[in-house]
A and B are shown apart, each in its own frame.
Chain A
Amino acid sequence: MKGELAIMDTTGDTKVMWDSDNKDEVETAKETFTRLKKKGYIAYTVKGKGEKGEIMKEFDPNAERIVMVPFPVAG
């Protein structure tokens, strides 16, 4: 099963892909996830067709898509 981590940034987003059967890829994605969470990013699992997303506390290698958003501030 393949997963995708989309990190919002100035380039639109940077994607990290992984195959849940590939330990190295899963580990890389998890490291990225954990590092960004420490920086204050909020992770959401999203599904197709605009279904409601969910906040993700821990990295799930079986998640299909994760969107990571920089910590929000009031405008």
Chain B
Amino acid sequence: MFIPSFIRGNSATVSTDYANSPNVWSSWNKDYIDTVSYLHSNRIIWKTWNSDYTEGSSGVSDSTNSFFHIDPGTGSSTTDIQVWQVWNVHQEARESTRRASAEQREAWHRMEQEQRQQEEENTARWEAEWKAKAEERQKKEAKAKQRAEELLRSCLTPQQQDELDRLNLFHLIVGDKKYRIKRGRSRNIELLDESGRPVKKLCAHPGEYVPDADTMLAQKLMLETDEEAFLKLANHTPVHYPPEAPTVRPSEQVARAV
């Protein structure tokens, strides 16, 4: 037999003999009468009960109301037992529907939670994989840079190595020309004039990607072994300087003119 939750909740004060519904009802009513002592007849009790337990309703019999309640009527033929049994049947149906809805909601909620958890796990796994790959790539890049640096240094003079340490560049003399090779891959070579000022930038490098130190070594080797071919291949960008400031101030010029 179905046991309404509020009856179950009152089990401390009412009969727990659920198999014997008249006893439950009587006990419940009795308990209710104790708290609302001026109610005596079943009908008045029932109506009052309906009123109290109908969610905001006036307590009038209405089977479409969200909280089912019934009017035992005025006839003496309506007994406590009948009211209880009718109430029980209807309430059980209603509770059954509510339970089904609740179970469905719970199932949806559980499914949503599982999906969210799955998404979080996937995101965490993806992030961990991405981080591991990034770290691995960084390690490889660092190792490649180190190898290239060692190769470059092994092909430089002590003076060039010193320049590389201090200035991140080195100078290269080819014939009567002086070049400056800066750390980098493109536009990193400068042709210098006699005063050591850049007059043009040159750009040519290995066609495949190699670390910067490898590029610098390749540029050095190309320039010192076949300068003409390198200059023919490279892009040239002249370096422009702003006109030099006048050595004589305008006020002095005026004074001289006078």
Binding site for B on A (CB under 8 A): 6, 8-13, 40, 42, 44, 46, 48-50, 52-55, 67, 69-75
Given known A-B contacts A55-B225, A55-B226, A10 and B144 have beta carbons under 8 A apart: yes
Surface stretch bound by A, among B28-36, B90-98, B192-200, B204-212: B204-212
CB distance from B11 to the nearest CB of A (A): 77
* The 6 nearest A-B residue pairs measured at CB: A12-B147, A75-B203, A50-B157, A75-B186, A70-B208, A70-B206
Q: List 24 A-B contacts (CB under 8 A).
A: A8-B214, A9-B210, A10-B144, A10-B209, A10-B210, A10-B211, A11-B147, A12-B144, A13-B147, A13-B214, A50-B157, A52-B225, A53-B155, A53-B225, A55-B226, A69-B217, A69-B221, A71-B207, A72-B206, A72-B207, A72-B218, A73-B233, A74-B235, A75-B186
Q: Judging by beta carbons under 8 Å apart, are A67 and B186 in contact?
A: no
Task: Note all chain A residues with C-beta closer than 8 A to B134.
Answer: none
Complex Cα–Cα for A4 and B104 (A): 74
Given known A-B contacts A8-B214, A73-B207, A67 and B155 have beta carbons under 8 A apart: yes
Q: Judging by beta carbons under 8 Å apart, are A13 and B226 in contact?
A: no
| B151 within 8 Å of A (CB atoms) | yes
Complex Cα–Cα for A12 and B204 (A): 19
| B178 within 8 Å of A (CB atoms) | no
Interface of B is mostly: helix
CB distance from A2 to the nearest CB of B (A): 15
Given known A-B contacts A13-B214, A50-B156, A73 and B148 have beta carbons under 8 A apart: no
Binding site for A on B (CB under 8 A): 140, 143-148, 150-151, 154-158, 160-161, 185-187, 203-211, 213-214, 217-218, 221-222, 224-226, 230, 233-235
Give 14 A-B pairs besides A10-B209, A71-B206 with Cβ atoms closer than 8 angstroms: A8-B151, A9-B208, A11-B143, A11-B147, A12-B150, A12-B210, A12-B211, A40-B207, A49-B158, A50-B156, A55-B226, A72-B206, A73-B207, A75-B187
Complex Cα–Cα for A12 and B153 (A): 13
Task: Note all chain A residues with C-beta closer than 8 A to B157.
Answer: 49-50
CB distance from B224 to the nearest CB of A (A): 5
CB distance from A24 to the nearest CB of B (A): 25
Given known A-B contacts A12-B148, A13-B147, A53 and B224 have beta carbons under 8 A apart: yes
CB distance from A59 to the nearest CB of B (A): 17
Task: Note all chain B residues with C-beta closer than 8 A to A9.
Answer: 208, 210
Task: Note all chain A residues with C-beta closer than 8 A to B233.
Answer: 72-74
* Set A42, A46, A70, A73: member contacting B155, Cβ < 8 A: A46
Question: Quick one: closest A residue to B160, CB to CB?
Answer: A50
CB distance from B180 to the nearest CB of A (A): 16
Task: Note all chain A residues with C-beta closer than 8 A to B145.
Answer: 12
Task: Note all chain A residues with C-beta closer than 8 A to B185.
Answer: 75
Task: Note all chain B residues with C-beta closer than 8 A to A44.
Answer: 221, 225
Complex Cα–Cα for A71 and B148 (A): 17
Interface centre among B151, B155, B207, B213 (most CB of A within 10 A): B155
Complex Cα–Cα for A6 and B148 (A): 10
